[in-house]
Structure 1
């Protein structure tokens, strides 16, 4: 009888999203274990995600399912204790303090370079592409890099800092195409190993270090897809350190996912399985972080389709490659990864998440300058 109650509540939530249990449309869901209803109502997103990993339910178009569920504000209709506990902890403690800086690398970025090679473009750029006039993932990522470096007005001989350099794709591109020297920092030993190899022929150095230990003086700074790991309690420190490392006439570009409302943590499933201690910043949080330190020169909002197309390209790549990857990426891992990529796609399609590029200067650009698009 109690399970019938949970089922009715679950069905009401899905009705608002125009999703049916056992329906014939691609975004309707098929239930393989009736215990799903109680699990979702009592555990929220964590229960929904873990149940999918365990094969309790399926959906032909998971990205569309999430688009509809997120668009219907389903998360506001559930407040299980696990969600509230996470929010309380993130407010009481600095979850991204220096002693925890390397945890996201251990959980996510060090999973295996073979996985990311199979999923990403040839430069292994793990961030949103720029799809304006692009017809492929490769083109979108190359256009993104040109856009960033043109906004920064890179010139030969400049010293550049890459905060969160990943596998070195952006640093190598900047050095090769713009004649600059780049120092990249990452918290991932696996990323650094490939980055050093990939950039060996260019004036690029790679360091495994927390951004709070950065030193030096640079003409330009950029950070692509790293700010999501900084945490709201550390935004001010992040910008202060960047300010100290940037020369007086320097420019900084921040490329980050952004949220419509201020938050202190990510939802429980992603925190447990994908990006521990992550935090999607709001515009208010970012602006408060750099206020009094930088002048805002440009705030570029990408289209909602840019990240959705990027994620779907990654999804299509990895789905083709699973048979060629090691057995450690078992069925449970594959379902986890599918849930991750397609739930994120739904989030961007619903406009809950955005992709922003901010161009900042220390003292304001004085010359006439048209920001590239």
Structure 2
């Protein structure tokens, strides 16, 4: 299925109110023409879209897209152009004030609420994700420096993590937010380590337990806050985005108490450029409930006095390629899920993948890998490399 066939015939846009005029000016500054002929030009199919965008931000814009009120042939290019201007940073709808204050002052990622994202997003179905992701179901950014395919990029990322942690046979590893076990299985197969992984997704844990029953791996349905045992190294890939600013310090304290004195902790997370920004309201409502991207400043506050930051590696531009690869596989597999999930889900998922790709391409969102130690690596830490 594709919505591209629904593109209207381009026609000159005539503003009807102040919202239309503001949208015309904003988009023009980004090189986007309303009802224009280019792949990144927005086609307004119903009235009121600019008003919804200015009054509700991405929540209104995203809901209008899912409802079919507007269309763009290349959503990723549209968001890349729009977000590259940074002009949208100044749009602060009053309707989003309460959610923004809630994210700042309330603990939206408490133990009682933490499983919402697992139930809504990660428990969507292993069959669905198996068609969109690589063979290990790695649902995080790949490393594309020498890769040409999604499979190669994900394996390169897993290998890079193993090398950064300096894994050796027999080590016992903790994976906080283990997903479908991609890192644990790779590390066990290539480096002969033992590993314990915790997740809040029943579907992920069940799938990983069945697939990797032959390896020395333990998958637990467990909240990270209850962990209290020693490991030679710790990894957390794509989990910190769900921790929330009220729990950043708690997360770091858990990692600190579970890490051996000479061990290394690799933390892989997406992040934002501004400390005081709020979670995206559309992503929060429809994709990742209670998600909260950290800033470097917030992460620094959380690890203060607990860890030495040995290495910080930003390869956020690689998430653009990863998301586009996921989108291509999603489009190819969609006919098998169309009857079950329907047109609204299709448009929602397409908006999610392509808007995020555009955001990473515009460097509006980052991807960081931190390597942390308790007291500092003697002689200094050297980041390993992957050869072509």
- TM-score (ref. length: structure 2): 0.93
Counterparts in 2 of 1:217-366, with a 5 A limit?
217-263=230-276, 265-302=278-315, 304-325=316-337, 327-366=339-378
1:167 equivalent to 2:180? Answer yes
Question: Which residue of the other structure, out of 180, 195, 201, is the alignment partner of 1:182?
Answer: 195
1:67 equivalent to 2:110? Answer no
Checking the alignment, whether the CA contact within 8 Å between 1:264 and 1:279 is kept in structure 2 is no
1:202 equivalent to 2:215? Answer yes
User: Which residue of structure 1 lines up, in the alignment, with residue 106 of structure 2?
Assistant: 93
SS of 2:32's equivalent in the other structure is coil
User: Which residue of structure 2 lines up, in the alignment, with residue 30 of structure 1?
Assistant: 43
Kindly tell me the number of residue pairs found equivalent between the two proteins: 372
User: Which residue of structure 2 lines up, in the alignment, with residue 111 of structure 1?
Assistant: 124
Distance 1:208 1:90 in 2: 26
Q: Relative to structure 1, is the Cα distance of residues 236 and 369 closer, same or farther in structure 2, using a 3 angstrom cutoff?
A: closer
Checking the alignment, whether the CA contact within 8 Å between 1:182 and 1:203 is kept in structure 2 is yes
Q: Summarize deviations over 1:251-282 as a string: whole Å, max 9, x none.
A: 10001112111146411111100111111111
Distance 2:54 2:158 in 1: 43
Q: Relative to structure 1, is the Cα distance of residues 77 and 283 closer, same or farther in structure 2, using a 3 angstrom cutoff?
A: closer
SS of 2:52's equivalent in the other structure is helix
Checking the alignment, whether the CA contact within 8 Å between 1:3 and 1:37 is kept in structure 2 is no
Question: Which residue of the other structure, out of 43, 49, 57, is the alignment partner of 2:56?
Answer: 43
- The structural deviation recorded for 1:367 is 4.7
Distance 1:95 1:172 in 2: 31
Checking the alignment, whether the CA contact within 8 Å between 2:133 and 2:329 is kept in structure 1 is yes
- TM-score (ref. length: structure 1): 0.97
Distance 2:384 2:77 in 1: 33
Checking the alignment, whether the CA contact within 8 Å between 1:265 and 1:277 is kept in structure 2 is no
Checking the alignment, whether the CA contact within 8 Å between 2:199 and 2:222 is kept in structure 1 is yes
Q: Relative to structure 1, is the Cα distance of residues 101 and 224 closer, same or farther in structure 2, using a 3 angstrom cutoff?
A: same
Distance 1:264 1:213 in 2: 29
Q: Summarize deviations over 1:61-104 as a string: whole Å, max 9, x none.
A: 10010011111224234222232221111122111111111011
Q: CA RMSD in A?
A: 1.5
Distance 1:98 1:82 in 2: 28
Checking the alignment, whether the CA contact within 8 Å between 1:13 and 1:77 is kept in structure 2 is no
Unaligned runs of 5+ in 2: 1-13
Distance 2:349 2:253 in 1: 35
